[in-house]
Amino acid sequence: MTRGWRIAKYLSMSLIIAGALLLAFLQASGETARAKVADCLSCHDDYIFVRQFPQSAHGNNACTSCHKGIRNLERHMTGREKPAAVSCGDCHAEIAREYRQNFHNVELDFRCSDCHRDIHSFRADLKNKKRAVIEKCTECHGNDEYVASGHGEAVLKGNQDAAACSDCHGLHSTQVFHTSLEKYPAEAREFYNHKCKHCHADPALTKRNNLSADIVAYYEQTYHGKVQDIGYPTRVAGCADCHTFHNILPKDDPRSSIHPQNLVENCGRCHSGFHPRFVNYKAHPNYRDRKNYPSLFWTFIFMSGLLVFTFLFFWVHTLLWWRKTYWEKHRMEKFGIVPESTLSHEEGLQHVQRFSPRERLLHVLLVLSFFGLVMTGFPLKYHEAPWSKILISLWGGAHQAGLFHRAAALVLIAVFGYVALQAFRFIFPKGKGKEGWLKRLLGPDSLFPNLKDWEDMKGMFRWFFDRGEMPKFDRWTYWEKFDFLAVFWGMFAIGGSGLLLWKPEWSSYIFPGWILNIATLVHSEEALLAALFIFTVHFFNTHFIPNKFPMDRIIFTGTYRMEELQVQRPMEYERLVAENRLEPLKREHPGIPLKLASATFGLTSLLLGFLLTLLIFWAILS
């Protein structure tokens, strides 16, 4: 016999002996446990202990596994020694940890056995766990509404996806968000909204149950959803505010809170003073669904088209312009060419007024209100972006941000109203009335586009591609006219929709509720158009172009050098000279305080705009 065989023989023998010893030990301990159980059953001989307990989930335990602390059976039998309190957490440690924070423990001092009264006969029925939970909770919480609800009915029919009590309220972790403990309304709302979304945004679960998986996403695109997400949960409709807590039924069920007949009452729990057609508002519409939401769909298409075409044109325009200027600047640097002064030195330095003090003030107000609107509105538009919560908290929450938004809107409306009046007065001046209005409208001092603008634009494109000279501009360039007139469209779209949304209940006396959905979409998309247009196109055309970089102060100082007038707006210069109107426009060189203030305000605005652009792109791309 080899050495290897011997080792194998000893090893196998040792294993057999160890196995036999283990079996003997287990049998002995089993016998001890049985002997102990028999001891207990000799007195505690109720049917439940003798028959039901061995079949129960805990049936393989001895009585003393839970009822510990009896050292002397005789003393126990004579009532002098009682077992210690049962500590279920010795085995169920995780449940015990959860239960410590449970409402029933913290506020009501319920112990395990207060709910698990049937612990000696308890059998785990994992297939019908949800039904068992409902049966247990409704022993105390007789909730007819839940039992009659879609969830309750589905669970009782055996649907394991539908929510039982514990799916929303937790099983052993029931939160201290008690409905009568109005201490945590915000946390409770957040918690329960999350619970609803958890199932209703689950693609597999919703597909199995023939529900829309995107309904949560659609809700989050509405004002309610955005504000709720950003952390203003106390005053905006979460899931349960419309669908109620337990009486959750489909909208074609007359008992449902969202049944058309019940909507006025349902919306009326938060909103007041509205026309009944207010309830036509869609709480989670899909604006890509042409069949069910045609008006929203076409608005979305129109707004998207407007955005795409505007940016496509102006970004290409900007890029080509930048290329042309930069290449030209590079060539001049390379060959050491210094631009020649077109006028005599002294006269070229003379400052000429382009913007009156009133126009400059209007622009400052416009800048302030615009930033106010963007910084209060965009956190809501991009509520999912990581920066939105920080920005909204700077305003003191979504409610306060809303107030600032409205205040800024009032300033903008006032500025716009004044400018519109000025424009009207320009076309129909006092004393002249209608006489020659068309000439003024299409004349060189007007901001209204004319044929020359069309020619200028073509000329600019030719210049971009080195196929001609830069056009000679008059007082206003075509892109300046676009900036100016875009505000009129913008005020119609964004201002009009904003006014409708300002007090939506009042708007319902003019329009049905679904118009508010359109207003929200238009307001939001037009805001993106306006903000990005200003922060990219306007900023570039006016300030970032290589020969003006980093900024053109003229809108704040009001004047520029005669030489700049001559180069940038030669036709205006010629007209002013010919009409002898140049003299009254001559101004002093702006002082240091004005220049410093202009640079500070202007550069801050540019940097802020640049930062906001980055934030917007971050939100769009992530």
Partner 1 sequence: MRFPIKYGGIVIFMVVIAVLVSFTMAEEKGWKTIPPHELRQMMTADRKPVLINTMSFLECADHSIPGSLCMPAEEFERHLPRLPAEKDRPLIFYCESEVSYKSCEAADEAMKKGYTRVMVLEGGLPSWKRAGYETESTERIPREAVQSLKSHVLRQWLKEKRDFLIVDIRPEKMFKERHIEGAVNIPMYQLHLRYRELPLNRLLILVDNRGFRTPLAASYLIRKGFEVKRLFGGMKKWEALTARDMTAGK
DSSP string covering 210-239: T--TTHHHHHHTSHHHHHHHHT-TTTS--H
Q: Report the nearest approach of partner 1 to the CB of residue 145 (Å).
A: 9
Query: Would you call 587 helix, strand, or coil by DSSP?
Result: strand
Query: Which residue lies nearer to partner 1 by CB, 140 or 308?
Result: 140
Q: Report the nearest approach of partner 1 to the CB of residue 109 (Å).
A: 5
CA gap 128, 5 in Å, rounded: 56
Q: Report the nearest approach of partner 1 to the CB of residue 140 (Å).
A: 5
Query: Which residue lies nearer to partner 1 by CB, 145 or 167?
Result: 145
CA gap 85, 97 in Å, rounded: 18
SS3 sequence, 477-537? CHHHHHHHHHHHHHHHHHHHHHHHHHCHHHHCCCCCCHHHHHHHHHHHHHHHHHHHHHHHH
Query: Which residue lies nearer to partner 1 by CB, 183 or 331?
Result: 183
Query: Which residue lies nearer to partner 1 by CB, 9 or 111?
Result: 111
Residues in the chain: 622
Cα Rg of the chain, angstroms: 39
C-alpha triplet 98, 101, 106: angle, nearest 5°: 135
Query: Would you call 66 helix, strand, or coil by DSSP?
Result: helix
Query: Which residue lies nearer to partner 1 by CB, 115 or 594?
Result: 115
Query: Which residue lies nearer to partner 1 by CB, 72 or 113?
Result: 113
Q: Report the nearest approach of partner 1 to the CB of residue 245 (Å).
A: 11
Q: Report the nearest approach of partner 1 to the CB of residue 82 (Å).
A: 13
Binding site for partner 1 (CB under 8 A): 85, 100-101, 105-111, 113-115, 117, 139-142, 176, 178-183
Q: Which tokens hold the place of 235?
A: 């005053």
Q: Report the nearest approach of partner 1 to the CB of residue 587 (Å).
A: 54
Query: Which residue lies nearer to partner 1 by CB, 241 or 453?
Result: 241
Alpha-carbon distances of 467 from 341, 439, 459, rounded to whole Å = 25, 32, 9
Q: Report the nearest approach of partner 1 to the CB of residue 424 (Å).
A: 48
CA gap 358, 581 in Å, rounded: 20
CA gap 321, 238 in Å, rounded: 49
Q: Mark 75-113 as b/e (b = at least 16 C-beta within 10 Å).
A: ebeeeeeeeeeeebeeeeeebbebbeebbbbeeeeeebe
Q: Report the nearest approach of partner 1 to the CB of residue 103 (Å).
A: 9
Q: Report the nearest approach of partner 1 to the CB of residue 224 (Å).
A: 22
Q: Report the nearest approach of partner 1 to the CB of residue 254 (Å).
A: 18
Q: Report the nearest approach of partner 1 to the CB of residue 175 (Å).
A: 12
Query: Which residue lies nearer to partner 1 by CB, 6 or 141?
Result: 141
Query: Which residue lies nearer to partner 1 by CB, 244 or 557?
Result: 244
- Alpha carbon 433 to its chain centroid, in Å, reads 50
CA gap 560, 572 in Å, rounded: 14
Query: Which residue lies nearer to partner 1 by CB, 26 or 85?
Result: 85
Contact predicate 133/164, CB 8 Å: yes
Cα torsion through 518, 522, 524, 526, rounded to 10: 180
- Alpha carbon 422 to its chain centroid, in Å, reads 39
Query: Which residue lies nearer to partner 1 by CB, 135 or 455?
Result: 135
